[in-house]
Structure 1
Amino acid sequence: MEKTEIKTYLVSTLKLFFMVVLAGIVVLAAFIAGVAFQRQRTPVAVTRAPIVFPTPPTITTEEDVPGFNVFWEAWNIVESEFYSDIPDQRERVYGAIRGMVSTYGDEHTAFIDPTRASVLQEDASGAFEGIGAAVRLDELGRLVIAEPFPGRPAAEAGLLRGDVVLEVDGQPLRGLSLYESVALIRGPAGSTVVLTILREGEPEPFKVEVVRARIEIEVVQAEMLEGNVGYVSLSEFSSGASEKLARAIRDLQKQGATSLILDLRNNPGGFLSESVAVASLFLEGGVVVREEGKDPSYKQVYEARGAHVATDIPMVVLINRGSASASEIVAGALKDHGRATIIGEQSFGKGTVQLPHTLSDGSQLRVTIAQWFTPNGNLIQGEGIIPDVVVEMTQEDALEGRDPQLDRAVSFLQGSTQ
């Protein structure tokens, strides 16, 4: 890659980054990949009022970007004076873009190189192969296990909530985006990935071998529990999820359910439209979620609509640190409307919308364009949903097959004072 090509690529990337136009569409980007990766899906069309945005700035040359000449000064000095092997020019360009994007301070606004972008794109085909855990970046930019899902490879290998992943197969994650780190962890079912883990209370980092697996979970599972309590779990907000959930609830009601538990634990999210439809099953009307963009004129309100199948039955919603995005929209809406009691642990806190751009060389740029608020105006991003009744589920509980959160939900609905 010649210097002129490097300039062109950097400038075109900056131009694209600064010229993101919302154009009235909603795109849900995944917050985790094969680590229980929420599949990137083609967005379902959502009707909304026309929105007019100001004309974005046009950036055509590096001279239009203040300080860009300093970049080339630094580039030339390092290239001419560095004592050892110089990295490939393309890798240095990618490093520069990553550095630029990181200054925005948003873990979900990220640059992904072509190789890792192609790995993440495989999720659009419906393949789930990874270690089965929700992950996030902490305030230091480190990859942290937010929630190892019970019965999945991460939990089976002994990974714990709060573990920091320093390396994947010997490759440091420092400087990589959330998506790029996830792409390294992903891989074919049956293959082994070696994670270098930093754990609180341990004097030194240590390695953990995890055998990847295909993660297949039924979208909806339902059963009757003691005391005529209907239980239904929703694993993702994929297309048609609300219809499947509605059928399951009707079946439970036919079986005599007089109260209901909706389990959204470890549900990473999905379609915005499905989250609105799911919340609408339990609400006769009112706001489900508010969406706001950078421009003050960009405000969208989504209200309950469509079928309402269980608007007055006593209800509990279960959430944990693996409940994210669309799960938090539903939990937040039902909490704010006083429709359900939320039991469990504080949710993940993924409340932003990303617009992905495929660049000319196959790399990808994901830009956060909006954020979500609950009906009462509470920010979801970074805050999550706080349960009405906090019940922790420990590693020991999971290993012993205990579920204190579900037990508390059942006792609550049965009127127990425990």
Structure 2
Amino acid sequence: MKVVNALDEQKSELEQQGEQEHQEQNQLTENKTGFVKMKKFHFIMMLFFIVFLSAGITAFSLSFGDEKVVTVGTERSEFNKLYMAYDTLKGQYFEGLDQTTLINGAIDGMVKALDDPYTDYMSVEEAKSFHNSISSSFEGIGAEIQEKEGQILIVSPIKGSPAEKAGLKPNDIIVSVDGKSLQGMTSTEAVTLIRGEKGTKVELTIQRAGSDAPIKVPIIRDEIPIETVYGEMMEDGIAKVQITSFSTNTSADLVEMLNDLQKQGMKGLVLDLRQNPGGLLEEAINISSMFVPKGKMILKVEDRNGKIKEHPSQNDGNPNFPLVVLIDKGSASASEILAAAVKESAGVSLVGEKSFGKGTVQTAKDFQDGSNIKFTTAKWLTPNGNWIHKKGIQPDVEVTLPEYASLSIINPEKELTLSSSSTEVQTAQKMLKAIGYDPGREDGFFDEATQEAVMALQTAQNLPVDGIIKGETTYKLMELLREQIQKNDTQLQKAVELLIEQMK
């Protein structure tokens, strides 16, 4: 109120001066020069008062008026436009707006403007899901996803997860979740819709390359334990270890697994990184150091200024057994770091298919309210300086799985029965033939021969024998197909052949 008081004081002074002028004029002084000087003086004072009054009123309106001037951005002029947009919407939008929603939207907009599928702003709920993904367990369907060109793609289902059991595969496009389109969503927004409590149902609409139409896939969510290392002894002293992701304890679990396998007589190792979507960079470096000789390069990290930080092996990574590594199009990020490191710095052969191609490094910064921002900080290069981003790593020996390994999914809630005709019937016929129940045809028409093949399957699996593919019959059909793929794993077979040659 200091401005108001100053104005009142000036008004009082003006009134006194006006009264004095009136008295002086009534005196009719004969000194004309003096009269003119006095009039000039009062004219100047009047101008001074008008200027002062205008300045005072302006200051008052800026401080207390309806239209406020934002002073927050005076030191960061590049934000003036942002502040103006915020104030305009907050003050003039036809409905009341929530301040937090506007601010979160502004941050999200900045992130989306980067056009980087690996950089996300996460709400409090989304941030919780993100942190859970590298913890001991979480509840959901168990699939790593990624946003690419406005679509949500599956990078890889987690071993033994509901997603794997439902038949989801790398590069499947998730069109919608419970009928809600994912078009234009970030991966973290999609994760929020897909995840949920154990025992609850979620329906994904999936588009797979080679399929004519999207397929609805109902999945019952479950607890997804982050057990990342699986090992087994095979014939001829060869062991197979699968790493499904790089989580907090993966390197420690791998050491324990390898020690146990060596006690069982391991002479050669197949390290399976197929459908491994990646994870923690530190874990990838630790595991690479187990197989890369000390001092040899694991990877190089290049920052925005082109400065390169090298990461050589710190351990004596000279295993006393030969090694072959399996990769495929679901091998991404940290699994590609490991594959490139052993290939270029330890001469290890890679078998399978070209990997996914993710060559950037991300970090996460938490905000005080629990939300966070995950953003790309650098790109990583292979030991030889190659950037595999969007290119992938080519295996030394390229081997594909049998054609039936890429068959599409069948919706277990859809009934396939005699005289029906569809692409799903055709998929079912190919599955039946792959597992040993020949339907006689594979053109998508459900005839008597197909019905007989279905009934034979149901009889062998102790299912209700009605010749209809639906529900438990569909699940069992896809389960037996997965088992057949594992039995006829051409990539693993080739890796074993190479190991046997090395062991001679």
Pairwise TM-score range, normalised by the shorter structure: 0.7 to 0.9
Query: What residue identity is the alignment partner of 1:127?
Result: S
Question: Which TM-score applies when normalising by structure 2?
Answer: 0.62
Which of 331, 334, 349 in structure 1 is aligned with 2:342?
Answer: 334
Give structure 1 stretches of 5+ with no counterpart.
12-58
Larger Rg: 2
Contact 1:343-1:389 at 8 Å conserved across structures: yes
Contact 2:155 2:275 in 1 (8 A): no
Match of 1:321 among 329, 352, 361: 329
For CA contacts below 8 A with separation 6 or more, give which structure has more relative contact order.
1
1:213 and 2:222 are equivalent in the alignment: yes
Rounded to whole Å, the distance in 2 between the matches of 1:166 and 1:74 is: 36
* 1:244-283 alpha-carbon deviations (Å, 9 max, x no partner): 4334334434444332211222333343333222222222
On the 8 A contact 1:283/1:339 being kept in 2, the answer is no
Shift of 1:340: 0.9
Change (3 A) 1:99 1:203: farther
2:110 equivalent among 81, 100, 109: 100
Counterpart position of 2:406: 395
Instruction: Say whether the 8 Å CA contact 1:110–1:366 is kept in structure 2.
Output: yes
CA RMSD of aligned residues (A): 3.4
Taking the aligned partners of 1:78 and 1:391, their CA distance within structure 2 comes to 62
Shift of 1:219: 3.6
Partners of 1:145 and 1:165 within 8 A in 2: yes
Matches within 5 A, 1:45-124: 63-65=77-79, 68=82, 71=85, 75=89, 79-80=93-94, 90-123=100-133
Structure 1: 4+ residue segments shifted above 6 A: 59-62
SS at match of 1:414: helix
Structure 2, gaps ≥5 residues long: 1-65, 408-480
Greater percentage in helix: 2
Describe how 1:202-351 pairs up with structure 2 within 5 A.
202-216=211-225, 218-285=227-294, 286-297=296-307, 299-308=308-317, 310=319, 313-351=321-359
Alignment match of 2:157 (pick from 138, 145, 148): 148
Cα distance change of structure 1 residues 156 and 220 upon mapping to structure 2, 3 Å threshold: closer
Partners of 1:131 and 1:211 within 8 A in 2: yes
Shift of 1:125: 4.6
- Identify the match of residue 187 of structure 1 among 174, 189, 196: 196
Distance of 1:78 and 1:198 partners within structure 2: 43
Identity %: 38
Sort the Cα spacing of 1:389 and 1:100 in 2 relative to 1 into closer, same or farther, 3 A. same
Letter of the structure 2 residue corresponding to residue 174 of structure 1: Q
C-alpha separation between the residues in 2 aligned to 1:314 and 1:208? 42
Q: Is the 8 A contact 1:62 1:69 kept in 2?
A: no
Q: Distance in 2 between matches of 1:377 and 1:280?
A: 18
Q: 2-side partners of 1:215 and 1:67: how far apart?
A: 45
Counterpart contact for 2:229–2:242, Cα < 8 Å: yes
In the TM superposition, residue 187 of structure 1 has moved relative to its aligned partner by 1.4
Secondary structure class of the residue paired with 1:384:
coil
Q: CA offset at residue 129 of structure 1?
A: 1.9
Preserved contact between residue 136 and residue 225 of structure 2 (Cα < 8 Å): no
Residue deviations 1:216-257 (CA, integer Å, cap 9, x gap): 354433332222222222333334533443343344344443
- Cα distance change of structure 1 residues 230 and 118 upon mapping to structure 2, 3 Å threshold: closer
Hey, what's the Cα distance between the residues in 2 that align with 1:146 and 1:367?
Answer: 19
